[in-house]
Amino acid sequence: MMLQFERVVATGTAALDSGIGDTALKTFNGETYLYSTTGRGGGIVSWHLVEGASPQEQDQQYFGASITHQVGRIGTPVHLAGNDRLILDVDTATGLVGYSLNADGTIGALQETGGLTGGGDIASAVQMTIGTSNLLVLAHEDTDQIGSYRINGDGSLSPANSVAASATVLKTLQSGSNHFVITADTAGNTISSYTVNQGTGALSEVDGNEAIRTLGINTPTAVEAVQAYGKSWVVVAGVGSNSLSVLELASNGQLKPADHVLDTLHTRFASVQDIAAVQVEGRVFVVAGGGDDGITLFTMTPDGQLVHMDSFADTLDSGLQNVQTISVAPVGDELQIFAASQQDAGLTQLSVSIADLGLVAEGYGTVTGTAQGDMLSGGILDTTLHGGAGDDILITGTSATTMTGGAGADTYVIRESSGPTVITDFQAGIDRLDLSDYPFLRTPAQLDFTSTAQGARISYRDEVIELHSDTGATLTSEQVFGAGFDGPDHIPVNLDSGPDNNTSAGVAGRFTLSSASPNAALGDAELRFTPDGGSALVAQANAQGEFELDLPDGTFPGQLDITKSYSTASSEITALDALQVLRMSVGLDPIWGPAAAENFIAADITRDGAVNALDALAILQVAVGQPTEHDAEWVFLEANADLSGISRNNVVYETGAEVTAVDGALSVDMTSILLGNIEAV
């Protein structure tokens, strides 16, 4: 997919063409209109979008004398009791100020609602419908409040509640049956989510979003929200970090990082000022631009990864110096992209053809595409992907994946921790190999690249790709990668995954593990599910023991293994435990009576199959905080495991459990034991 520069459109009037601060889209009767807004002394222009042609100027409106010296540069369409309006940011207004929008794209009269508790000086606004209730959420600049208002039948607004918080961007998104407002505060450098009470419309901030703070998003300037691929996604632009971040919104309102990309010399979103996202025929596209004098186009995969499609650098004709605002709309068989510059007058129009979009499919076994541009993803078992004709995007699964792109310019996306990968028909100079998900890979020189008789063999860490050329001839690194990688840098978002010494305390004894609820015994643990015939899927539990293995629908038997470190802060292991083990090592009972099988397992911290004085020494070292070769950790066994043969000199057992996942859910009874902690069972 290529970005095509079309033209710069303008009215010819400086007050309406220069300093465009915002653009907004609205559809009436199947026709799409774009509204551009300038600041003080300016006004609004309405443009009718036409497929394959220049947008037609539909109307223009200079700001009235009462607001022209107080108005900001934002314009947001809302619907109030049968009337559409473009609401504005007006410094001294007490109510919500805006112009009526007519169904033919023309601009009507200036209107103002009754006074609002937070005033009419707003930084952002978002509207949502929950059941039969219509709500409007406003970010009030003067009072540093986010206010929720019910829209009454006559178009007036009644306050639901307000929270003390600043926001420069508001977006609304549903996850599961719950509704949320996502906020970004540029000055405060924060991103937050708020749940919306479905009965009252009241906002409540969601806790537990610490994970997004590790991404390094600096000065968020724009947010987009979209539901796609059965999930809810938030995309955040960071001007100070030159970054785009994809976050998955869970049904409890927590935001989980899915991808984080940084601008490079090959992309055009450094100092990113605005982004726009659109969903077309099941595909998500993200457009970004800012101080880098150009536009970058991405598509999003079903697991939230941004795949770079194209970047367009400013020319003498294109007017893309310091992009301020972006809007994108599907118009017929093309995406029309409109960008306004902080320096150049008018609106820059670019286009992308979407005439040949194919299907989006994910699975295992054999997955076959169409004659159009498909997006096919491998699953948790061995998969063969056939793209067919068209410009396809083929994405590896977690097990072995064989990919055949067929005719067209295909993109092969290799995910980290994929199984062995074979590409059968790579077309040098036409197809593209995307390795951006590999952590810390920045140049082809880091790869172990070996030319073979039929193509090439590429290795990186534990990843292996067998690349066969479409001609059956050998391939060089230059033929595959050219002068180097041409996309953004992807930064790992799960560097803090895996158990560590700062893990939360555990719970000893029998428990029921469930993927549908918190598990106190699994706080901060790492879970590894290996389906029969497939490769391992790894999930990191949060402090409450909640985890998501991202399993597809279907029935998958396999092995579940759990790793959880000992929390030194819990002080569960003491010198008394070392004394108990010393008694057990010489055949004496613990102080409470005969030892159970679980006690022998806990005592064998060295895991050499017997309880002896070395175990007592290692446990004492753990208890007093001294270095030891044998760290304490939790072990997890099937609850019905046969432990009858375990004794002081025979500590042999199997960890993990055989489980069957059904439609993405699993449940199993297990027993957790902390090595080094000796307690009565």
Q: In this structure, is residue 12 part of a structural domain?
A: no
Examine residue 468 and state whether it is found in any structural domain, yes or no: yes
Q: Are residues 454 and 517 in the same domain?
A: no
pLDDT over threshold 60, residue 678: yes
Contact 133, 150 (CB under 8 A): yes
Q: Which amino acid is at 291?
A: G
417 plus 560 within the same structural domain? no
Torsion angles phi and psi, residue 603, rounded to 5 = -75, -30
Question: Tell me, what's the pLDDT at 336?
Answer: 98
pLDDT of 497 over the 70 cut? no
In this prediction, residue 2 carries a pLDDT of 92
Confidence of residue 213 (pLDDT cuts 50, 70, 90): confident
**What's the whole-number mean pLDDT along residues 39-59?**
95
Judge whether 624 lies within some domain. yes
Paired residues of 257 in beta bridges: 247
Same domain, 563 and 595: yes
52 SS3 class: coil
**Domain extent at residue 472:** 358-490
Q: Could you tell me if residue 135 is inside a domain?
A: no
Give the 3-state secondary structure of residue 334: strand
State residue 320 phi and psi, 5-degree precision: -115, 35
Q: Which of 341, 353, 335, 243 is nearest to 294 (CA)?
A: 341
CA atoms within 13 A on the CB side of 70: 16
Give the span between the Cα atoms of 26 and 16, in whole angstroms: 19
Q: Is residue 127 part of a domain?
A: no
CATH number of the domain residue 373 falls in = 2.150.10.10
Cβ 383 vs Cβ 402: under 8 Å: yes
Compute the distance between CA of residue 77 and CA of residue 61 in angstroms, rounded to an integer: 15
Q: Which amino acid, one-letter code, is at 566?
A: Y
Q: Which residues pair with 32 in a beta bridge?
A: 27
Which residues, listed in sequence order, are joined to residue 233 by a DSSP beta bridge?
A: 226, 248
pLDDT tens for each residue of 250-297: 999 999 999 999 999 999 999 999 999 999 999 999 999 999 999 999
Q: Answer whether residue 2 is part of any domain.
A: no
Q: Give the mean pLDDT of 317-332.
A: 96
217 domain-assigned: no
In contact, 244 and 234? CB cutoff 8 Å: no
Taking alpha carbons only, the member of 386, 251, 360, 383 closest to residue 307 is: 360
Average pLDDT of every residue of the chain: 93
557 and 418 belong to one structural domain = no
pTM exceeds cut of 0.85? yes
426 plus 532 within the same structural domain: no
Domain shared by 627 and 566, yes or no: yes
Q: Which of 433, 456, 490 is the last residue of a domain?
A: 490
Residue 452 has pLDDT above 90, yes or no: yes
Contact 514, 521 (CB under 8 A): no
SS (H, E, C) 121-160: CEEEEEEEEECCEEEEEEEECCCCEEEEEEECCCCCEEEE
554 lies in the same domain as 617: yes
- 567-610 pLDDT, tens digit each: 888 889 999 999 999 999 999 999 999 999 999 999 999 999 99
Q: What is the DSSP letter of 673?
A: E
Q: Are residues 471 and 544 in the same domain?
A: no
Residue 589, pLDDT score: 95
Closest to 391 in 3D by CA, of 377, 367, 410, 404: 410
* 46's tokens: 């309405």
Q: Are residues 484 and 555 in the same domain?
A: no
Residue 104 has pLDDT above 50, yes or no: yes
Question: Can you tell me the distance from the alpha carbon of 360 to that of 374, in angstroms, rounded to the nearest whole number?
Answer: 6
Domain count within the chain:
2
Residue 211: what pLDDT?
A: 78
**424 has a pLDDT exceeding 90:** yes
Same domain, 417 and 553: no
Report DSSP state, residue 64. Answer: P
CA–CA dist 576, 555 (Å, integer): 46
Residue 501 has pLDDT above 50, yes or no: no
Please say if the pLDDT value at position 503 is more than 80: no
Q: What pLDDT is stored for residue 454 in this prediction?
A: 95
Report how far apart the first and last C-alpha atoms of the chain are (Å, whole number): 63
* Domain shared by 645 and 525, yes or no: yes
174 lies in some domain: no
Structure tokens at 601: 């397992």
Torsion 33-72-225-220 (CA) sign: positive
DSSP string, 548-564: ---PPSSEEEEEEEEEE
Instruction: Kindly state whether residues 519 and 638 are assigned to the same domain.
Output: yes
Strands (E), 477-618: 489-490, 509-514, 526-531, 537-540, 555-565
